[in-house]
Structure formats: structure tokens, C-alpha cells
Amino acid sequence: MRLLTIPMLLVLFSVTYVQAQEEFIPPPAKQITRFPFKLLTGGIITVKARLGNYPDTLNFVLDTGSGGISLDSTTASLLKLPTQLSDRTIRGIAGIRKVYFSYGQTLHLPDLPVENLDFHINDYDVLTSAYGEKIDGIIGLSFLSRYILKVDYDSLTISVFTKGSIKYPRGGFLLKPLIQTIPVLHANIRDNRPLSSRFYFDTGAGMCLLLSADFVSDSNFVKPKRKWYATQAEGLGGKAPMKQGVIKQLQLGPYKFKNVPTYIFDDEYNVTQYPALAGLIGNDLLRRFNLIINYERKDIYMIPNSHYKEQFDYSYTGLGMYVVDGEIQVVDIMPESPAEQAGFKPGDIIMAVANNFSNNIQTYKNLMQTPGERLKVLVLRKEGPYVLTLKVKNILTGR
């Protein structure tokens, strides 16, 4: 019996071994290029690239919240690109519209030409004005679906790899989002009560968390006595009013964040896809992790980085300022906000903030992100210069 059993066991092991050898293993992913990126207010990623034979570099936002790839209409006109009206529509926070496309273009990232891209054309003037830097386009699914990306917020670099097998480092967590055009993932949130829901994973959103007003209303999620402040955000189609405040907790995988700055959005055009989704998680939270984005395997691997424990931005001014004809101009003032109380008026030209005369809107916004700070702001009006005192409110404490 033993003589029969041993050969049978050998055969069984042999069959198992042969089957394992027939399993297809994709070749290892290979690094193609590595290049720097820049972080703007709210954690927005911008990268430099060239388009076609145009010699100058352009600024693109890297955006997992984009289901394609796009180009600013002014930039398309400057480059004299042929465009064609399509029957497709795009949806943004301030509108839905049919779009023109420029087909078959090549995007030149450092040491990486990306060919046969169909850019839809959109007006990004409001983003350029808000950030004080020309936003020439947005890079989304059309690029992200072709490669594996490592986004390192410690070194401010992006590494691009071919598709293939890749080993994720220890110490992180593997998300398995649903990816059709935009990654969708589960997260747990807590305020008036705990809830689990689905959210867009959106590196192009300069905030921590955005919730649909319909979701908030239907779920009775927000604490009834919690204070919310009038504000607005910029996106496709222009500006949209929102409410700004804080929720008690957000948990993404094993990572818990308390007192998370949150926007509530009256989503007229259903950008947040409620009731299927509750909203989106933006890059002011996601930038606290180095990311490996692998659309082919529907993987997003995240590992905490040096920004993980940074305090959230709880500042509130209610001051909407934009770059207009090279000047930083006050355009919007939220009612009952610190900006209104300080005496700002639409049309004020901001000359300096806290004795900083850089005329850089990113610098001025950063100076206004210290809750409790009293800032001297020099503004210019027709009748002359004025010094206003702006007290930055803390949305966490209400003071």
C-alpha cells in the first residue's frame, strides 16, 4: 500500500506544480520617467508638459476626478489647434455643456510622449484667476489608464511606469476602488451619526471632503447645531456657492481623521452622483499619503507620508480674490464673513498682506490660513489706499 501511495502523492504534487507554472504572470512594471510637480492651494497638483510641436511648456492639473483629458480654450486658440464640436457633454460644479474636441494630439511629458489623445476644450479662466497661474489643461483618465503612477508628496515627484506587476511597499493600505472613469471608494464618516458611503477619489479637488446637500439632508448626518459658513468653490463652468464647516471624523481604510474640514454643495447638476455617491474626497486630505495609482489592476495604494499629521486648514475669511489683468482683486465677499466685517469692497485691489508686497495670490492665501490671526491688508480704491484689519476665523472653534 505504501508503494502505491507514495507515487500517487508524487503525481498529485506534480500536477499542482505544473498548474502553477502555467499561471500567467505579467512582466514587471518598468519605470519610464520621473519628473517634479508643484502643489497649489488646497493640494492641487500641477505638472509641466508640451503639446504637439509647440515649444513652450504648459501647466496641467493631474486629476483623478477627470474622466478624460482637457485643454483650456484660450490655450487651444493660442496653439491654433483644430477643434470639432461633438455630441458629448461634460458635467462640472457650475454647469453641463456640449464640448469641442481636438483629436489625435501628443502630450510631451519629460522623457514621455503620450500619443493619440483626444482633448476636450473647456474654459479654465476662473481656475487661472483663482490660482494666479495659467491652467492650460487637466490630465485625467486618458493618461492615467495607460500607466502606473507613483505620486510622492515628500519629494514632490511623479514616477511613471509601464503596466505590469509591481510590488507595493510595506506600511500602507491597498484601496480597491471601482474604476470606470473616476475612482469610487468606500469611506466611513461620523458626525451626528456614523455612516458608510461611497465617494469619488479626486486629486483635482482642492479640499478635504465635499458632501452633497441632498445626502446631508436625507441622511440627517450633520449635527443640528453645527455652524456652517457661506463660501464658494471654482470648477467647470465657473463658481458655485457652498457651505464650509467641520465634521467629526472620516475614516479611509484604517486611517482616521478627526475634525475634517468639509464643504456642503447644493449639487444642481448632480456632479456628486447622489444617491449613488455621497460626495468626494479631495487632495487636501489625499496629499497626506504617497500614492501608487494602478488603474489596470483597479488598485490605489496609499502610505502615510511626512504630511500625514499636519493640522487641517480651519481658516475662514469669506474673501473671494482673483487675479484680474495682473492685479489681485476682491471679487466676492461672503455675507456676515470676516471679510465683510473688515470692510472689504468688490473691486478692491490687494496691494499687500501683512507687509508682504509680492503680488502673489498663492502667498496671500497662505498668509490668510492662520485662524485667529489679525492681518493688516493694504487695498487700493479709486479714492486712495486703505489699510483694513482682517481677523481670520477658526471654523473648528467658531471664533
pTM: 0.90
Closest CA relative to residue 53, chosen from 106, 8, 93, 1: 106
Check residue 4 and give its pLDDT.
33
Q: Centre a 10 Å sphere on the Cβ of residue 346 and count the other Cβ atoms it contains.
A: 10
Residue 134 grid cell: 495659467
Count of residues in the chain: 399
Check residue 272 and give its pLDDT.
82
Check residue 11 and give its pLDDT.
36
* Residues of the chain by 3-state class (helix, strand, coil), percent to 5: 15, 45, 40
How far apart CA 392 and CA 371 sit, in angstroms, is: 5
Check residue 271 and give its pLDDT.
80
Check residue 18 and give its pLDDT.
45
How far apart CA 15 and CA 29 sit, in angstroms, is: 30
Low-confidence ranges of the chain (pLDDT < 50): 1-19
Check residue 12 and give its pLDDT.
35
Q: Which superfamily is assigned to 31-161 in CATH?
A: Acid Proteases (2.40.70.10)
Q: Are 70 and 118 in contact (CB under 8 A)?
A: no
In this structure, whether the domain defined by 180-288 belongs to CATH 3.40.50.300 is answered with no
Going from N- to C-terminal start, the domains of the chain cover 31-161, 180-288, 315-394
Q: Bridge partners of 48?
A: 59
Tell me the helices (H) and strands (E) count for the chain, helix number first. Answer: 8, 29
Mode of pairing for the β-strands spanning 349-353 and 279-281: unpaired
Residue 306 grid cell: 511626512
How far apart CA 378 and CA 331 sit, in angstroms, is: 16
Q: Bridge partners of 299?
A: 294
Q: In the CATH scheme, what is the code of domain 315-394?
A: 2.30.42.10
Residue 64's alpha-carbon distances to 67, 84, 119, 184, in angstroms, are: 8, 25, 16, 10
- Do the domains spanning 31-161 and 315-394 agree at the CATH topology level? no
Check residue 16 and give its pLDDT.
41
* Furthest CA-CA distance within the chain: 108
Check residue 144 and give its pLDDT.
98
- Return the DSSP state at 68: S
Check residue 235 and give its pLDDT.
64
Which runs of E-coded beta strand occur in 253-283?
A: 255-265, 279-281
Burial of 40 (0-12, 13-18, 19+ CB in 10 A): buried
How far apart CA 108 and CA 57 sit, in angstroms, is: 9
Check residue 45 and give its pLDDT.
97
Check residue 98 and give its pLDDT.
76
Which runs of E-coded beta strand occur in 123-237?
A: 137-139, 148-152, 157-161, 173-175, 178-179, 183-190, 194-201, 209-212, 229-235
Phi, psi of 93 (to 5 degrees): -65, -20
How far apart CA 32 and CA 51 sit, in angstroms, is: 19
